[in-house]
Amino acid sequence: MNVHSGQTDLSGQVALVTGGAGGMGRVITAELVRAGAHVVITTRDGERGEALRREVGADRVEVLTGDLSVRRDLHRFAAEFSRRHDRLHLLINNAGAHYRDRRLTADGVEAHLAVNHLAGFTLTYLLHDRLQAAAPSRVVNVVSATMSDTRTVPLLGRPRPVSLDLAGVTDLRELNPVEGFAPFTAYARAKLLSTICGYVFADRWHDEGVTVNAVHPGLVSTSIVDDITPAALRPFRSVIHSRLLTPEAGAAAALRLATDPGLSTVTGRYYVRDKEERSPSVSYDPATRAKAWRLSADWAAPEG
Ligand SMILES: NC(=O)c1ccc[n+]([C@@H]2O[C@H](COP(=O)([O-])OP(=O)(O)OC[C@H]3O[C@@H](n4cnc5c(N)ncnc54)[C@H](OP(=O)(O)O)[C@@H]3O)[C@@H](O)[C@H]2O)c1
C-alpha cells in the first residue's frame, strides 16, 4: 500500500514524522516524499537520518536529531520546526518504544510513558498554531491494540484491557510505578493515554479543521517486536517475524489516515489497521479524559 493508492498529490504540504528513519517510519517518510510532501523527521541517529535523506530526496527531507524521551529535546524540535515552517499539514506521531525493564528519563518520567505518549502529546500541543495555520491538517497517533489486551500470550481467557486510574494522580511521574511494574502493561498504558488525549485534542480542535486519530498498525516485522517478545520465545525470532506484516503493509494504516481524501473530516477515532474500533471503555470516561489531558498539558507546556 502506498499513499492512498498513489492517487494523492501532497505537493506543497509539510509533514513531521517522529521516528521517521526506522521501521514503519521510514516507509511513511518515503511514501509521503513520493507523493510530493516535504517531510521533516526526528531520529536519535543523525547519520541514519542523513542516509535516508540522501536516499529518498535530499531537498525534500529534513532531519531533526534528538531524543523524544527528553522534554528539552521536544521543545527544541517544536521550536526548530516552527522556525523553519509556518504550516504543518501532517503530524505523524509514529515513534514508540518498549523496554525490558523499568527506567526513568532525564525528566524522571517512566520511559514508556515518555516515548509513547508524552513525546507525541507535547509535539501536538506545541505545534498547534502550525497545524491550525495549515488547516485542513491531520494528526495521526500510532498506538497499539495492546491497550485492549495486555496478555503477552493471548491464547487463554478473555482480553485484559490495561487499567488506568488517575484519581489522586497529581503528576504523570507517578504513573507506571515500581510496585507491580510490567513493561508490556506500561507500554499499553502509554498508548492508551495517547489515544485518550488524541480524543480530547480532536474535540478541542473540531471546528478548526485539524483532525486527530489513532491507529494500531497490526503486528509488524520491525525491531520493536524483538523488544516485546518474551525471553522464552526469542529462539523462534525468525519464525515469529516471518508471520508478521512487512513494514510497508504496517505503514499503510497510518498513511491511509494521513492521506485518504475520504477521511479528511474524520476525527477522534481509533482504527485497527483500516477498521474503526472502540478503544478500552475507560477512554470514553469524560473525567479520565479531562484529567489525562490536563496532566499531560501541565508537563508539555513551556515553563514560566
Ligand atoms: N511493530 C509492531 O508490531 C507494532 C504494533 C503496534 C504498534 N506499533 C507502534 O508502531 C510505531 C512504529 O514502531 P515500529 O514498529 O516501526 O518500531 P521500530 O522499528 O522499533 O521503530 C520505532 C521508532 O521510534 C523511534 N524512537 C524510539 N525511541 C525513541 C526515542 N527515545 N527518541 C526518538 N525516537 C525514538 C525510533 O527512531 P530512532 O531509532 O531513529 O531514534 C524508531 O524509528 C510505534 O509507535 C510502535 O509502538 C508497532
28-69 pLDDT, tens per residue? 999 999 999 999 999 999 999 999 999 998 899 999 999 999
Counting the structural domains of the chain, the total is: 1
What is the 114 CA–ligand 1 centroid distance (Å)? 13
User: In Å, what is the CA distance from 243 to each residue of 152, 221, 251, 287?
Assistant: 17, 8, 16, 40
**Quick one: average pLDDT of 95-121?**
98
What is the residue whose three cell numbers read 494523492? Answer: 8
Residue bearing the CA closest to ligand 1, atom 28 = 97
The C-alpha atoms of residue 122 and residue 117 are separated, in whole angstroms, by 9
Question: What pLDDT does residue 5 have?
Answer: 55
The C-alpha atoms of residue 77 and residue 168 are separated, in whole angstroms, by 32
Cβ within 8 Å of residue 174, ≥6 positions away? none
The preferred substitution site among 16, 24, 45, 227 for testing ligand 1, maximizing ligand atoms within 8 Å of CB, is 24
The C-alpha atoms of residue 199 and residue 301 are separated, in whole angstroms, by 19
User: In Å, what is the CA distance from 248 to each residue of 4, 52, 64, 140, 212?
Assistant: 13, 16, 23, 17, 22
The C-alpha cell at 40 is: 521533516
State the average pLDDT for the chain.
95
> Which residues partner with 140 through β-bridges?
92, 213
What is the 97 CA–ligand 1 centroid distance (Å)? 5
Radius of gyration for the chain, computed over Cα atoms and rounded to the nearest angstrom: 18
Q: The CATH number of the domain where 87 resides is what?
A: 3.40.50.720
Confidence of residue 153 (pLDDT cuts 50, 70, 90): confident
What is the 25 CA–ligand 1 centroid distance (Å)? 7
**In terms of residue numbers, what domain contains 289?**
3-300
- Nearest atom within ligand 1 for CA of residue 146: 6
Tell whether ligand 1 has an atom less than 6 A from the beta carbon of residue 21: yes
Question: What pLDDT does residue 152 have?
Answer: 72
222 or 8: which carries more pLDDT confidence? 222
Residue 204: pLDDT over 60: yes
**Quick one: average pLDDT of 91-111?**
97
Residue 160: pLDDT over 60: yes
Question: What pLDDT does residue 226 have?
Answer: 87
Residue 6: pLDDT over 60: no
Confidence of residue 4 (pLDDT cuts 50, 70, 90): low
The C-alpha atoms of residue 33 and residue 250 are separated, in whole angstroms, by 18
Q: Is the dihedral of CA 114, 116, 118, 124 positive or negative?
A: positive
Length in residues, the chain:
304
What is the 168 CA–ligand 1 centroid distance (Å)? 31
Question: What pLDDT does residue 1 have?
Answer: 46
Q: Is the dihedral of CA 94, 228, 102, 48 positive or negative?
A: negative
Cβ within 8 Å of residue 30, ≥6 positions away? 52, 55, 56
The preferred substitution site among 48, 67, 224, 271 for testing ligand 1, maximizing ligand atoms within 8 Å of CB, is 224
What is the 227 CA–ligand 1 centroid distance (Å)? 11
Give, as one character, the DSSP assignment of residue 163: P
Tell me how many degrees the CA angle 42-44-47 measures, rounded to the nearest 5: 95
The C-alpha cell at 155 is: 491464547
What is the 137 CA–ligand 1 centroid distance (Å)? 23
What is the 136 CA–ligand 1 centroid distance (Å)? 27
Residue 85: pLDDT over 70: yes
The C-alpha atoms of residue 290 and residue 267 are separated, in whole angstroms, by 18
The C-alpha atoms of residue 292 and residue 171 are separated, in whole angstroms, by 10
- Nearest atom within ligand 1 for CA of residue 49: 40
- Residues 268, 199: contact at Cβ < 8 Å? yes
Tell whether ligand 1 has an atom less than 6 A from the beta carbon of residue 31: no
275-276 and 270-272 beta bridge pairing:
antiparallel
Residue bearing the CA closest to ligand 1, atom 19 = 23
Neighbours of 48 (CB within 10 A): 16
Residue bearing the CA closest to ligand 1, atom 26 = 95
228-282 pLDDT, tens per residue? 888 888 888 998 989 999 999 999 999 999 999 999 999 999 999 999 999 999 9
